[in-house]
Every structure is written in structure tokens, then in C-alpha cells.
Structure 1
Amino acid sequence: MKTQAKLADVALHLNEQDEVAVATRALAAGTIIDAGEDGAITLARDVPGSHKFALRPVPRAMSVHKYGQSIGRALVDISPGDHVHSHNLGMDDSDRPHEFGTARSGPLPASGPMPTFMGYPRANGKVGTRNYIAILTSVNCSATAAKLIAEAFRGAALDEYENVDGVMALTHQSGCGLVPSSEGGQVLLRTLNGYAAHPNIQGLLVLGLGCEMVPVDLLAGNTAIPGDTLVRTMTIQGEGGVRATVKQGIASIKEMLTELNSRTRVESPASELVLGLNCGGSDGFSGITANPALGVASDKLISLGGTSVLAETPEVFGAEHLLTRRAVSAAVGEKLLERITWWHGYMERGGGTLDNNPSPGNKAGGLTTILEKSLGAVAKAGLADLSAVYEYAEPVTERGLVFMDTPGYDPVSVTGIVAGGATVVCFTTGRGSVLGAKPTPSIKLATNTEMYERMSEDMDLNCGRIVDGTATMAEVGQEIFDLILRVASGEQTVSEELGIGQEEFVPWQFGSVT
């Protein structure tokens, strides 16, 4: 006997214009669905949860819509009840009209008193959410020494310094043989300088080899470093080798610990938070649950005068027209388009295209084209106007919603956001990404209940309840905002509990190497 169901009980039809619906659970071939005005449809094959099926016929080469936007073109004639995925849906290369400022929301209304968090006011007026000591390497040659120094402060070594969150080694694969004036060289310098000046780093040991192209004094002399940051510099050649360097490095950090431990949290306005928005391992529910719920929390922060940083340029491609409509000026909108144009050239030089995305994991989760993925990804940005566009790792100075040009690869993207000044990161995932982002806490937001329950020790909040019908978008958005404040005040995220985040410091690498 064939199963019969009402559309609302088994799927989400997101926009009246959409020819597809998203299955909220696995549906078997032969299931008869009452689709209201679209009539009764019979599923032609099994449809996994979070995947799409057709409600209406779509002739070959015509656009298929989700969220009221084109997510691709039919590769063959699609009939009602067909599973819509990579076998019958391809890229839509049509030009999208780019308007500037035509859909601005204006200042978002704030209600009630200013929420607060317990943060660390810094000498330059910024407010940190953590109190870390960082060993920042100027070159890969000093990476091992940095890690050996940091290892000395793991486990019980910091038990008597309860106000210090940890000692971390920030190592990378570059710093020499790289032309500093090249585009890649400038990106690396911005990234290292951004971490050196980060509000969550209150003690800084800059460690080099001694003969590299990026000398330690260049980083330690960064004028953006807060005046209350304890700064030390060392080179392996100057100290007389690795063993001597590790010994002296440990001694230098021990000297910092007593003073840094005396620093305590102070009640601070939520408007001083800089929130990084990122997603990884996305699925068909990402743009329906966690991403728009995070957009609600982001809008609330922005309404209070705070800052949110959207990123991942390859994963807004195809939805950039929605952002340019919200740009506060034509110049801001045009800068976003300039970055996308740069990405087209960058991908062509590497033998690829921007529509190579989504990943195999994304596709297994129901995402078919980059258009579909991007339309869901920009939901993290809520409804706020787009106030600025930054290049990778540039210091974020504007308040409100801003965009940073980063790759979609999670560690590289989040490294750029943190270098820009993000003091909390919210990371949405449908497949189960486990990224940390020291010195910035990373809050994991699960898009679906099945994954959350399977990986509950790696997730901070289940946004899948929106699809389950046990929580509303507004409720989950408020939960995310409240969690942001608690984490900013010192509550540990699951990635922090596991110690994840040091190895995820991955500056974007490209440019001239000699």
C-alpha cells in the first residue's frame, strides 16, 4: 500500500515561485503527496531528507527555483515527483542584475536596555572575550620551537592561573622565500599583524629564526597592538639554537603569567562584540534553519551597534545580487563585485571555476549547485544593510554588517575573519564540521537534529528544531544571541573544551615564492 501524506507534513515549500520542495525526512519512492494547488504527486524514487523533489514540471533548460531564486537549469525534462539533484539539475550561468542599495532596511530597531557581557577592555578601546598568550611565528622555521614552548603550558601547568585561557602556538608554512611586497606577502603580513593585535591576545611572544624575510621586529612593532599587550621577541639564531630558545621562551611566558592572571573581566556592552559568521559542511537544511537563525542573532547584535562579519566569497557567488541591493553605497556594492571578478580570474588561473562548488559532502546533504549553496549561505547575514567590504585579514573598522573576502575553506576563512578582529565566531554545519578558532571561541550550530544527536559532543546548539517544529526561527535566533553573550563572558564552547583551534590557524597562501 502506498504511503500518503500532506506536503506540509513531509516537506518545506519555501516560496510560492519554487518548483521544488525540501523533504524534511527520508521519503520512499511511490509516496503520494497532497501538494494542494499543485495536486497529488507521486515520488518517482527515494528522496533523502534535506533533498529536493519537484512539485511542478520544469522543461529542459528552464530555471529551477528555491528561496524564490534560480538555483540552476534543468538538464532534462523534470516531472512532478522527480528527485531534483545533480543528475537533472545543472548550473544557471544567466547574468544576475546587480542593483545597489535598492533593498536597504535602514537602521535595525533595538528594544530594551543594552545587553552586556563580561569582557576584557583593552588599552585601544576594544574589548576581548578571552585572555590568551600567543607564540606568533614569523616563519615556518620557528614552528617546531613555538609548539614545544606551548606544550610546556598544557594540562595542569596553568591551574594556578585561572584567568589565563591558554598558551597557543600560531604556526604557518611561510614567512621566507616569499616576496613581502607581493599580493601573497601582503596577505600573510595582514594576517600575522591581525593576530598580534587581536583583543583576545594579551601576551605575545613573536618567534623567528633570525634570517627570514618577515622579521620579528616588523610584527612586534605593529602599532595596532594594544598598549597593554605584553610583547616579547626572540629568534632561534639569536638565542643559540632550538633548545636554548625553548628554555628562554618558557621563561618569558612564565614572566607574563602573573600579570595576565591579575586581569579580570568587566561588564561590557554587547555593542563591542565583533561576530564572525561562517559555515562548513553545509546541507539542504543550512539555509532553512541554522543560517537564517544566525541571521536573526546577527541582526540583533547589529541593532545594538555591534558588528558581524560575513565571508567566503566563493560561497556568496550566485547570491551576491542580494547583498549589493543592501549595500549602503554603490562603492560598497561595486567592491563586492570586484572581489568576485578577482575570484573568477584566480580560479581560471588554477584551472577551475567558481561553480565547481559544492563539495561531495554538500551534495550528499542535498545541495546541488553553488547557487543553491550561496543562497542559503547569505541567510547568515540576516536583513542588515551591508556597510563595508574588506580584503582578506584586513582590520574591520566599520560597525554593522560587513563582508570579508575569504576562500570557502573553513580554516583559511575563519583565520581571515579572526585576523580582522572577530571576538566570537558562530559556525553553522549540517554534515558535522568540528572547527575551532583560538584565540576566538567558535560556537557550532547544527542545522539538523539527526547530526546534532550523532555528534552532540561537538555541537553547541541544535537549530534543526526549526524543521522539527519544536522551536521557531525567532526562538532559536534568540538562543544563539544569548549563547553568544555567555560564550563572550567566558563559557567554553565544545571546541574549546576539546582544545581545538591551534592547528586551525591557516593563513591564505598564494603569491610569488623565490
Structure 2
Amino acid sequence: MASNLLKIHPSDNVIVALRDLPAGDIAEWNGEQFNLAYGVSAKHKFVTEDIETGGAVIMYGVLVGRATQPIKKGEPITTFNLKHDAHDYSTAKRQPYTYTQPDVSKWEGRTFNGYHRADGRVGTYNYWLVVPLVFCENRNVMIMKDAFERELGYAQTDIYRDHVRDFLNLYKAGDINAIRSLQSSGEQQAIVDRKPDRPFQNVDGVKFLTHEGGCGGTRFDANTLCSLFASYAVHPNVAGITVLSLGCQNSELKTLEDEIRKRDANFNKPFFAFEHQKGTEYSLMSGAIKETFIGLTEINKFEREPAPLSKLSVGLKCGGSDGFSGISANPVLGHLSDIVVGLGGQTLLAEFPELNGVEQELLNRCVTEEKAAKFEKLMRDYAGKAEAVGSAFAFNPSPGNIKDGLITDAIKSAGAAKKGGNAYVSDVLNYTERATESGLHLVCTPGNDVEATTGQSAAGANVILFTTGLGTPTGNPICPVAKVATNSVLAKRMPDVIDFDCGPVVDGTQSIEQNAEHLLEYVIKVASGELTKAQQLGQDDFIPWKRGVSL
């Protein structure tokens, strides 16, 4: 990919600029020349033929839009001359699909060091979880968070509090001008690893979740919240859980307990529940703190032990995407996914709005007609609900996406789907459903970064790979989220956020396959306890997907 140009699929009628191409330049691809009347920015595309109004624009081998006005050969596609369009899909249109698994022999016998659970799954981290069943208990959860993190050595280095203290001292000294004249170095203070000071060496953290639900909305949303927490409770990275309940909310404790048993009939992790309306706040908090502390002494007995790579469950996610996402980082994840699947592991492809236009290919790849039908129904139901409130999947690209070359949702989706590689689709999961099969899964979530990673963790991901071309700090409380840059410029600009660079694919120094193998080596390190940048920064993002309406 060392050229300044790239044509992704033989049937495409657009070419991607890998570098800025000035107006008046003559671009050449496979012996054909294109006179560029307008400049084409890196990551954007120009057409290879004259396209009339209504004519199809093809990229990644699929329909990604139609011209709203004539586009001359060599002209770039923009929001002014192209609108979203995609081929319709149907389970009835399924075609035979064949797939050749990559050679995974070099990875057979490789292991990571994880926490083996009673249900046979393996955690990459050993966390205790504290959750409120309703937003009324958020304050109490945060009080517990402050107490446990500070006293047990899990609190993050508070460099910004130091900033405020320095400014306060200058203000007290009457030196306002000194504050104004201070220049930021742009360098981040090193993260302090406080693990040596922690009394519970084998407990990777106590994670405290808050949310705005549990009551006041639909019963559907309340029950979904309980299902979400149940999926987190049985997650292999969670060793025990404390639940705070007010007592009168829609998201009832019994519902949570029932949902846990649905997912694991033999659930035997420490589980402590406390109801606020049974007494004073002090009795609630002192009891919750005491039992949680005792629980920590128990889960501290777990130790990391070798596990085969078949115990990996890798979430495949993208956010802050750019025009290189579908060219470098997403295909790299796709090849890694095929390797993990070939080893008997799980991969989880989420973000249904970002599969718009590639549905038929995914339907073809489903291992059974039943799973294909489930995928079609979930997609159509989701799209219908979006349209009912005056939106549509076509509105998915953000201003940042569009600025960096993702003009239509179909262009964005066709590139996003590359994260799923080429393997057969083993299963299709609705939101909060747990993955139980090996292989590639389609997981129904929004495209929203945090709602999607929240849902992937519920499905059972024990590592999430998150590609980004623009940069995003997204993390998750119980599952490590590694940020994978589509380009080296981003990796150098945001080194405190980015974990891995796929830029060598763009500059031609590594193939997709080579880069994917380097990434898998990094995944093994993360699964064995090496902290991602999001973990170092304490980026514990959690947003339940609210699917109903507020009452």
C-alpha cells in the first residue's frame, strides 16, 4: 500500500487517496490516468468514471451511495454530490458462502495467564463489582468508590488536583499573572503503579457503576437493566458483586437474581444485596462496606494460571472512524478475528447501525437459516424504531467521520464490517445475551461507543479491540479496551490513549496479516494483565442502552 492511491475492490468505481492530492494533479492507477480538477484530501475518494445523476457509487465491492448530480471522472465524492444508498437484503436471498480458515498452527499451544472460573470461562482480570439497581443509589455507590479506592490503593494518580492546588497557592499569593503565564508542556505525568501498596495483590480492582435508570422509564428498560447487570455478574472478569437497592424501583432485585440464574444456573460467586428502605443510610453503607471487604479477602485467593487462546473472547469495535479505518485497522482486526476463531475462541462484532449495506453478506455467512433470520429481524426492528422517531441508519456518520472521508453510512459500514474478517457467523445475539458458542458473533448494540462496549462486555468479551482514526479515550469497567490507531499520525499525537498502531499498513511497511499477528501478541499481554491506556487512565465508561421511552 506504499502508493498514494488505493482501489479496494476490483469492481469499485472510486479510488482512495492515501496522501493529499492537489488540484491539477494527474493521478495514475494501473496505467490509467485521472485529471484531478479538484484537490482530494487524504482518506477521501475520487470516481474512476463519469457518473450521471442517480448513478451507483461502488466501494468495497458494494453499493455505498448514488449521485445527486453528475460527477465527472477524477472528481471527489462529497456530501454535495452523493447520498446514502445500499442494496436491500433478505434471508430468502441467501447465497452459498465458503471460507478458508487461515493457518493458525503457529498459535496452537500458546497461552495467556488468566483467572479460571467455575463455569469453564477464563477472566483476563479479577474484579469486584458494585452496582446500584436504581439511580437513587448513585451517591452511595460513589461514596463507597472513594473509600475503597483511596484506602486499598486503587485510586488514580490525581495530577489535575495538583494543578488546581498549584493555582490556588498562586491565587492566595496574589499572583494571578503567574497563573496566566503558565504554559502546559503537553506531557502527561507518568501513571503511578500502586499495585505494590495494595493489600489484595490478586484483585485487579473494585469497579463502581452508576447510571440514570432503574425507575421512571418503561418496565422493558428496567428489566433490560437487570439483564445487563446479570450479564456483568456472570462475566469471567467479575469474581463477586455488591448490589445497592432502594427497594421500590422498577428494576427489582428478584428480577436481577432470576436473570443471573438464566445465564448460570450454578452461579456461586459472592453476591451481596442491600436495600436502603429497610433502615438508615449508615446501616446500608456499613453493611455493604463490611461484606464487600470480606468478599475481597475471598477473591484475592484467585491467581493467574495459563489458559489456551481458545478462552479469548474478543470484542471488535470502532469509534472516531476515519477514511483509513476500513483500509488498515478494521481489516487487521478482521484477520485477528479469523485467527482467534480458528483457534476455537470467540469474537464479537457489534454496532448494528454500522452494518448497513453489508447485511446480505453477513446473512450469507450465518451458519444456519435460523440465525440468519434472527439477524434480519433484529436489523429491521432496529432500523424501524430509528425511522419511527425521525432518524435512520443513514444519519449515522458523525461530522468527524464525514470530514475524514466517510461520506455515507454505507461507506462507513462497509469499512466497519471488515472487523469481522471472513469467518462464518456462528451466532447472533440480542443486547445482553451471552455468547456461548465459539466463533464469530453478531451482537446487537448501537453505534454509540460506550453503549456498544457496554453491550460487548455483557456478551462476554474479556478483551475489546477498539479501532479509531480520530482518537477516542473509551474504556469499560470490567473489560480492558485497547485502542488501535488506523494511522501513525494519530498514534504519535495521542500516545496516552492509543495502544497499538496500524499505520504501517498504510505506509506499506507491514501487510495486514503481519500487523494482525503483532496485535495478537499484544492481546495476549493484555489478557495476561498488562494494562491498556484506558485502564491506566481509569476510563471506566458504562452506559446502558435505553431502548424504551421515558415516562
Q: With the length of structure 2 as denominator, give the TM-score of the two structures.
A: 0.87
User: Residue 148 of structure 2: SS of its match in structure 1?
Assistant: coil
- CA deviation profile, 1:235-287 (whole Å, cap 9, x unmatched): 2222412x443333322222122222221001111111111111111111111
Aligned to 1:153: 148
**For the structure 1 residues 109 and 190, does the alpha-carbon distance in structure 2 shift closer, same or farther, using more than 3 Å as the test?**
farther
**Structure 1 residues 5-24: aligned runs within 5 Å:** 9-24=3-18
User: Residue 205 of structure 1: SS of its match in structure 2?
Assistant: strand
Gaps of 5+ in 2: 154-197
Measured in 2, the distance between the counterparts of 1:314 and 1:50 equals: 22
Aligned to 1:27: 21
User: Residue 390 of structure 2: SS of its match in structure 1?
Assistant: coil
Measured in 1, the distance between the counterparts of 2:102 and 2:513 equals: 15
User: Residue 372 of structure 1: SS of its match in structure 2?
Assistant: helix
User: Residue 330 of structure 2: SS of its match in structure 1?
Assistant: helix
Q: Paired residue for 1:47, among 29, 40, 50?
A: 40
Shift of 1:442: 0.4
Shift of 1:326: 0.8
User: Residue 353 of structure 2: SS of its match in structure 1?
Assistant: helix
One-letter code aligned to 1:274: S
Shift of 1:186: 3.6
User: Residue 154 of structure 1: SS of its match in structure 2?
Assistant: helix
Measured in 1, the distance between the counterparts of 2:2 and 2:519 equals: 26
User: Residue 267 of structure 1: SS of its match in structure 2?
Assistant: strand
Q: Paired residue for 1:104, among 98, 102, 115?
A: 98
Q: Does 1:130 align with 2:125?
A: yes
Measured in 1, the distance between the counterparts of 2:144 and 2:239 equals: 17
Q: Please give the root-mean-square deviation of Cα atoms over the aligned residues, in Å.
A: 1.9
Measured in 1, the distance between the counterparts of 2:102 and 2:223 equals: 36
Aligned to 2:499: 460
The answer to whether the Cα contact below 8 Å between 1:429 and 1:444 also exists between their aligned partners in 2 is yes
Measured in 1, the distance between the counterparts of 2:510 and 2:422 equals: 21
Aligned to 1:240: 280
Aligned to 1:187: 224
Aligned to 1:440: 479
The answer to whether the Cα contact below 8 Å between 1:30 and 1:44 also exists between their aligned partners in 2 is yes
**Structure 1 residues 266-285: aligned runs within 5 Å:** 266-285=305-324
- CA deviation profile, 1:356-397 (whole Å, cap 9, x unmatched): 121111101100111111110110001100111111111111
Shift of 1:93: 4.8
- CA deviation profile, 1:384-426 (whole Å, cap 9, x unmatched): 0011111111111121011111111111111111111111111
Measured in 2, the distance between the counterparts of 1:336 and 1:104 equals: 19
One-letter code aligned to 1:506: I
Measured in 1, the distance between the counterparts of 2:20 and 2:101 equals: 42
Measured in 2, the distance between the counterparts of 1:362 and 1:84 equals: 14
- CA deviation profile, 1:77-128 (whole Å, cap 9, x unmatched): 1122212121211122543576435123266653143321111111111111
Aligned to 2:110: 115
One-letter code aligned to 1:24: L
Q: Does 1:416 align with 2:410?
A: no
Shift of 1:481: 1.2
One-letter code aligned to 1:269: P
Aligned to 1:355: 394
Q: Does 1:79 align with 2:118?
A: no
**For the structure 1 residues 114 and 352, does the alpha-carbon distance in structure 2 shift closer, same or farther, using more than 3 Å as the test?**
same
Q: With the length of structure 1 as denominator, give the TM-score of the two structures.
A: 0.93
Measured in 1, the distance between the counterparts of 2:440 and 2:533 equals: 26
**Structure 1 residues 253-268: aligned runs within 5 Å:** 253-268=292-307
**Structure 1 residues 152-231: aligned runs within 5 Å:** 152-155=147-150, 157-158=152-153, 159-180=198-219, 182=220, 184-220=221-257, 222-223=260-261, 224=263, 227-231=267-271
Work out the percentage of aligned pairs sharing the same amino acid. Answer: 36
Measured in 2, the distance between the counterparts of 1:379 and 1:302 equals: 15
Measured in 1, the distance between the counterparts of 2:375 and 2:122 equals: 28
Measured in 2, the distance between the counterparts of 1:97 and 1:62 equals: 23
The answer to whether the Cα contact below 8 Å between 2:130 and 2:243 also exists between their aligned partners in 1 is yes
One-letter code aligned to 2:44: H
One-letter code aligned to 1:197: V
The answer to whether the Cα contact below 8 Å between 1:100 and 1:327 also exists between their aligned partners in 2 is no
Gaps of 5+ in 1: 1-6
The answer to whether the Cα contact below 8 Å between 2:351 and 2:452 also exists between their aligned partners in 1 is yes
Q: Paired residue for 1:336, among 375, 388, 391?
A: 375
One-letter code aligned to 1:33: A
One-letter code aligned to 1:192: F
Measured in 1, the distance between the counterparts of 2:355 and 2:330 equals: 13
The answer to whether the Cα contact below 8 Å between 1:101 and 1:327 also exists between their aligned partners in 2 is no
